[in-house]
Amino acid sequence: MLSLRKSLRRGSVWVDHSLSFRERDRMLIPPSEWDRDRERYRGLLGLPATADEFIEPVLANLQVGLAAVAEANAQGRIEVDGNGLLHLPAITALPDDGEPRRTRDLIYKAIGAIQFPDILLEVDAQTNFSDELLGHRATDATELLASYAALLVHGTDLDAKGVAAMIPGIETAHVSVAMRAIEGHGRLRRANERVVQLQGRFPLAAHWGSGARASADMMALDTSPHLWSARVDPRRRTYAAGVYTHVVDRWGIVYDQPIVLNERQAGAAIEGVEQVNLGADRVRLTLLAVDTCGYNNAALALAKLLGFDLCPRLRDLGERKLSLPSEVTVPESLERVAVRRLSRKAIRAGWDDLLRLAASIRSGRIGADVALRWLGSAARGDVVYEAADQLGRLLRSVFLCDYPTIDGFRREIHTLLSRGESVHQLQRAVYAGKVLAERGRRPDELRAIFGAHALLTDVVLAWNTSRTNEVVERLRRGGMAIEDDWLRRMGPAHFGHINFRGTFRFGMEKYAQAPIKPPVTVRGAASG
């Protein structure tokens, strides 16, 4: 059975009626089409025809990186001991005189306490994300409130009956109907895009990043053991389901997807970037920071072929070795950390198949998660696996040279991952309990739970960004000095001032019922 499982995962055995374990040639670009349109697909990826054309610039960067590591070792900034272990000092904290923290506290004191319903309504008035949830503009207040209630049921630990009791004028039946409506394909993601775009338009967001870099990590939500995707979380010893989120450097969640705990996350990491980069009006992601679970050698190679850098914060960094081809010159001080086993021949042999695989992902034929499953450890000996593994080892060596020697690069990776952890804390405040036993049993319902959870989190992030930007501008007009560097170190993932529970009263009169479709007036109709 284990052998059959490995064969299914590497694609040497398939099931004709399966959506995920079909024959490779049926899931990739057909061989005849690839032979005919190879040049067009290569142009789509922006990649050369031969492996050597791709490898030579990488080797040049690697040679420069090796010299930088040797220089840092000579200067004592890093150390390579007699056992070939790398010792890297911890990142030094930036100077902090307390002003950024005091300014942040002053800003949130000026913002004051807020009720969660007011946040939902205000952000909806600016983005009309409820239009995407319903598929049309709400016709009356009851339909609009029902959509908010459905969003709360999906995205928090509350149930339909409880939310209906919290919102005056709403019945449980209204909530149940709206819950099914927002489960429609793509509705939550399109609504989330509107909120993320709103947040990016505030001048304050420009201090946090350009929107071209992101981090990805998994958060576990407690569930019933009867959920098909539930697994035991090894840290907390409870059943949980995983949600994998991509948090852009401007703090918004740009992609979310359910995953199974205790499995490698590299495929989910690459799939999220590809889905984000599909949008024509978005800033393309060029760098993704992940932890060790979101990385493997094949993932590094596939990410580079798809046009972005996968940058892992590696566990046991000191024990990592530099995989190099025989022709690379290694400084004497680094001989103990170099392993000359990299095979350019293996990369050449599988280069065309690698391009076909990357082009199949780019054209939407398969997901990156399926592709990375084929390139897992069960596929050792496969030509494509060997090519991806060897190319990934080469790219990892370049990364291992840059990570300890470029302080700004290393700090940025840690900053991106720290922002993701801060967003996870906000997500846990939004979803404080666990997924109920009767929820999440259908795949579309599980996606709706995590999608609604991400949307509610992004609504808070966008509202905090809006209010912070407003208060900063007001304080500056009043003569208070607020440095841009302080703003870079403040984030919108604060939630201590938000009341997520209690009676939900939506003051729609404040916004002139902006999210509601105005009634149609029939001109010339006879009276009586």
In this prediction, residue 280 carries a pLDDT of: 63
Task: Using pLDDT thresholds of 50, 70 and 90, give the confidence band for residue 247.
Answer: very high
pTM of the predicted structure, to 2 decimals: 0.89
Angle (nearest 5°) at CA 82 between 79 and 85: 55
Alpha-carbon distance values, 457 to 73, 119, 134, 156, 159 (Å): 44, 11, 19, 10, 18
In this prediction, residue 304 carries a pLDDT of: 94
Q: What is the pLDDT of residues 103-133, one digit of tens each?
A: 888 898 999 888 888 899 999 999 999 999 9
Residue with tokens 């918004």: 252
Angle (nearest 5°) at CA 415 between 394 and 84: 40
Residue-averaged pLDDT of the chain: 86
Q: Containing H/E element for 79?
A: strand 79-80
- The lowest-confidence range among 222-231, 339-348, 496-505 is 496-505
pLDDT at 522 over 70: no
H helices of 167-316, in order, are 172-182, 187-200, 266-277, 297-305
pLDDT at 475 over 80: yes
H helices of 253-296, in order, are 266-277
Q: Residue type at 256?
A: D
pLDDT at 526 over 60: no
Q: Which residues have CB under 8 Å from 524's CB, separation 6+?
A: none
Q: What is the pLDDT of residues 364-414, one digit of tens each?
A: 888 888 888 887 766 677 888 899 999 999 999 999 999 988 888 999 999
In this prediction, residue 170 carries a pLDDT of: 84
Query: For residue 46, how many other CB atoms are within 10 A of its CB?
Result: 9
CA distance linking residue 349 with residue 383, whole number of Å? 7
Q: What percent of the chain is modeled with pLDDT above 70?
A: 94
CA distance linking residue 509 with residue 54, whole number of Å? 60
Tokens of 165: 């009791």
pLDDT at 524 over 70: no
In this prediction, residue 382 carries a pLDDT of: 81
Q: What is the DSSP string of 184-205?
A: STTHHHHHHHHHHHHHHTSGGG
In this prediction, residue 507 carries a pLDDT of: 61
Contact 453, 433 (CB under 8 A): no
- pLDDT winner (highest mean) among 9-23, 211-225, 316-330, 369-383: 211-225
CA distance linking residue 178 with residue 85, whole number of Å? 58
